[in-house]
Structure 1
Amino acid sequence: MAHPDFINKNMFGAVNETRVRVYLTCGFIAMIILLIDFATPLGVASGIPYVAVVLLSLKSPEKHFTLLVASICTFLVGVGYLGSPPSDIPMYQVFANRLMVILVIWVTAILTLIQRNKVLELHQERLKRIQSIKEVEIREEKLRVLKATMRTVQDITGNFLNNLYYFKFEIETNKTLSPESVKKLDALIQDTSLRIDKLGSLDEIREKRMAGNRIGIDYEHSAKDADTISRKY
């Protein structure tokens, strides 16, 4: 079984590797978009592809990274304006196109973060439901085992009490027990005690059908398995 520290170290390494890969990919794509923007005349909304960088940033385990990417892309839109070749388009259209790109970037970032939070909340709710279902199943299993154990105890004690009627009848008839009956009574007490000890010393729960089609604990079978293992070793 893997050590918890080793598992946590591997998980941290995987998360860190994902973070670095997303950082490098976002930076590489953003640079390509900026170079394309430099080669495109003013007035063309060539900064729209920055939306893809914002969407890609969602793969990062850090929620605030998306906001950082949106801010950097906004800055690059301004850099692209300064480095793009001039055109015959009026400047108000150029500014309008740049503002539209910035608006799209931030609307995309905000909406995707809202969606991400909703997905996270749904995931947390799902985990809670699964945990609740598991707890219910565990309680039901414990109750089922408890009932089977109590039926088994009732079967053992019931068998003991039924045999006592024989000795009661002998005492009422003869006013005493014969030496042979005393030995039988001792054997009955020891056998009943042994059965209860076996039931209380189980390492594994196995069920069996008892009288009346009831479910009980197969303490004899488990005890035989334990004896077989002890003889082997």
Structure 2
Amino acid sequence: MDDILTAGQSGDAGTRVFSLCFVCVFLVVLIFSMDMAIPLGVAMGVPYLVAVLIALKSPGKKLTVIITVICSLLTIGAFLYKPAVAEMWKAVFNRAIALFSIWVTAILGLQKKNIEEKQDAALRQREKALEEVRILSGLLPICSSCKKIRDDKGYWTQIEFYIKEHSEADFTHGICPECTKELYPEFYEKKYGSGKGSEI
């Protein structure tokens, strides 16, 4: 079932990318046609920003880069193809502004997309970590004599078993100096001497 959903989602993504490609190409051709019909002094390179902004909606970065390069080449190509005008510096300035706008839009859009992808990845990683963490919380009923804990079903279990079952903790056993002195006095004497100053 999951494979079918994944295949359906990848098919939807492919259709979306194809649709975005089609719209971008249509806009680029339309803008280029208008640019060729209008005199050189008009800043006709700026409308290419619309195609770049639409390309930024695609899932990857490839379409945006391709459309940005094509728009830049067409902006320069139209400038070189058209006959010169009286105030050529205005035409050069307009084309430079158009190129600057196209590339700034693409770069800032790709940076924003990169930041959003990193945020999404961090959020997914955080959610995964939260799923893996099991934390004991609340009040635990514990016997004041034997230190067993009563679970949700009313059964009394050893504290080690309860904690192991309800958290990621594991236990290893040892014996503290006080219990060693009480339970194994001869071992305590060997290890700690007379006992003066060696207690915790």
- What RMSD in Å do the two structures reach over aligned CA positions? 2.4
Where in structure 1 are there 5+ consecutive unaligned residues? 155-233
CA shift digits 1:44-84 (9 cap, x unpaired): 11110111111110111121221111100001102322454
Task: Write out per-residue CA displacement over residues 190-223 of structure 1, whole angstroms, 9 at most, x where no aligned residue.
Answer: xxxxxxxxxxxxxxxxxxxxxxxxxxxxxxxxxx
- Native 8 Å contact 2:56 2:106 kept in 1: no
Q: 1:159-218: per-residue Cα shift (whole Å, max 9, x none)?
A: xxxxxxxxxxxxxxxxxxxxxxxxxxxxxxxxxxxxxxxxxxxxxxxxxxxxxxxxxxxx
1:36 is matched with 34
- The percentage of aligned residue pairs carrying the same residue is 30
Flag the structure with larger Rg.
1
Corresponding letter in the other structure for 1:15: A
Alpha-carbon distance in 1 for matches of 2:62, 2:93? 28
Say whether 1:148 aligns with 2:148.
no
Output the TM-score relative to the length of structure 2: 0.65
Partner of 1:46: 44
Cross-structure match for 1:23: 21
- Measured in 1, the distance between the counterparts of 2:31 and 2:82 equals 12
- In the alignment, the residues of structure 1 paired with residue 132 and residue 10 of structure 2 have an alpha-carbon distance, to the nearest angstrom, of 29
Indicate if the aligned counterparts of 1:39 and 1:85 stay in contact, CA closer than 8 A.
Answer: no
What secondary structure, in the 3-state scheme, does the structure 1 residue paired with 2:5 have?
helix
Structure 1 partner of 2:127: 130
1:70 is aligned with what amino acid? Answer: T
Unaligned 5+ segments in structure 2 are 141-149, 158-200
Question: 1:80 — aligned with what?
Answer: 78
Distance 2:85 2:61 in 1: 39
- CA shift digits 1:138-170 (9 cap, x unpaired): x248x99x9325x3256xxxxxxxxxxxxxxxx
Deviation at 1:36, TM superposition (A): 1.4
- In proportion to residue count, which structure has more helix? 1
2:116 maps to 1:119: yes
Number of aligned residue pairs: 146
Structure-to-structure mapping, 1:88-127, within 5 angstroms: 88=86, 90-127=87-124
Distance 2:34 2:40 in 1: 12
Q: Distance in 1 between matches of 2:28 and 2:151?
A: 66
8 Å contact from structure 2 (residues 40, 79) kept in 1: yes
- Measured in 2, the distance between the counterparts of 1:20 and 1:91 equals 39
- State the partner residue of 1:61: 59
6, 9, 14: which one aligns with 1:8:
6
Q: Which amino acid aligns with 2:76?
A: G
